[in-house]
Structure 1
Amino acid sequence: MKKSLLVVAHGSRRQASNDEVRALTERVRAESNERFAAIECAFLELAEPSIPDGLERLIADGAAHITVLPYFLAAGRHVIEDIPEEVSTTQSKHPDVHIEIAPYLGTSETMPRLLLTMLADSAATSV
């Protein structure tokens, strides 16, 4: 059984910022090679859908195993407390669904390589 993925970002009063997360989610979906049964995004605050709404949407679509990916660079309060609390609330309503929280983006071993690649790409295009 394939997992479903929920990309969780902070959310912004600025609609364009929220749309960037939605566009990223679309790109992840397009490049996932059907690795996930479904890929959605949700926001901790200031934008919709909320984390519970995003989880509920995946569950309504038949998800039995959901990975929540915190799209955050550092382990602040949102990563350590808020996201786990939101997930726990939904998990208690659906004990038959396995919901796991992946490490937040900033912990990725590929982050230094990504930053250097971005800088190299930027330098190449600005010449």
Structure 2
Amino acid sequence: MTERLWRKRSAPECAMPFIEYQMTSDTNPSPEIRSPQTGVLLIAHGSRRKEANDDLVRLAELITRRQEYGVVQESYLELAPPTIVDGGRICVERGATRVLMLPYFLSAGVHVVLDLEDARKQLAAEFPNVQFELCPHLGLNPLMADIVLACLEEGNSKSTTV
């Protein structure tokens, strides 16, 4: 597997919920979409604060720019539109025949274990010719340690300069 090299594109404060990274030029995505009929449905909890929900919108934009999938759509479990089911419908309306449902959650709580599977079943019943797959939540992905360490480094560098 080719190792991807990342560099920080901006230096946001650690307290900010969204850290944006950009791939270095030697790992740019291919110019054509690899899976045009595969959609990605990003699923977050949702918040009453629009700014909190905007993080997932920005993530969807970043993934879209990578040109790996034909459809990338954000959705929310509650408190903000579109709902998971509505997001799945949008993916199908935009041409997806397979939808990868990615829980943007750190822990496998009730939402990840039960609620998201219920939404997947509802979409599968509504669209029997479309494949809906629930992906693993972010959890303890090994890359999570890199993100945490980067935030700690940023926080440490700020405290030593004050």
Q: Same fold (TM over 0.5)?
A: yes
How do 1:1-127 and structure 2 match up within 5 A?
2=35, 3-30=38-65, 32=66, 34-125=67-158, 127=161
Q: Please give the per-residue CA displacement for 1:51-84, whole angstroms capped at 9, x wherever unaligned.
A: 0110001101110111011000100000000011
* Structure 2 gap segments, 5+ residues each: 1-33
Separation in 2 of the partners of 1:98 and 1:107? 26
Determine helix, strand or coil for the equivalent of 1:69.
strand
* Structure 1 gap segments, 5+ residues each: none
- Across the aligned residues of Structure 1 and Structure 2, the Cα RMSD in angstroms comes to 1.5
Q: Which structure has more helix as a fraction of its residues?
A: 1
Q: Which structure has more strand as a fraction of its residues?
A: 2
Give the fraction of aligned pairs with identical amino acids, expressed as a percent.
33
Determine helix, strand or coil for the equivalent of 1:107.
coil
2:3 is matched with none
Separation in 2 of the partners of 1:28 and 1:63? 16
Question: Number of aligned pairs?
Answer: 125
Structure 1 stretches of at least 4 aligned residues deviating more than 6 Å after TM superposition: none
TM-score (structure 2 length as normaliser):
0.72
TM-score (structure 1 length as normaliser):
0.90
Q: C-alpha displacement at 1:101, in angstroms? A: 0.9
Q: Which has the higher contact order (CA 8 A, sep 6+)?
A: 1
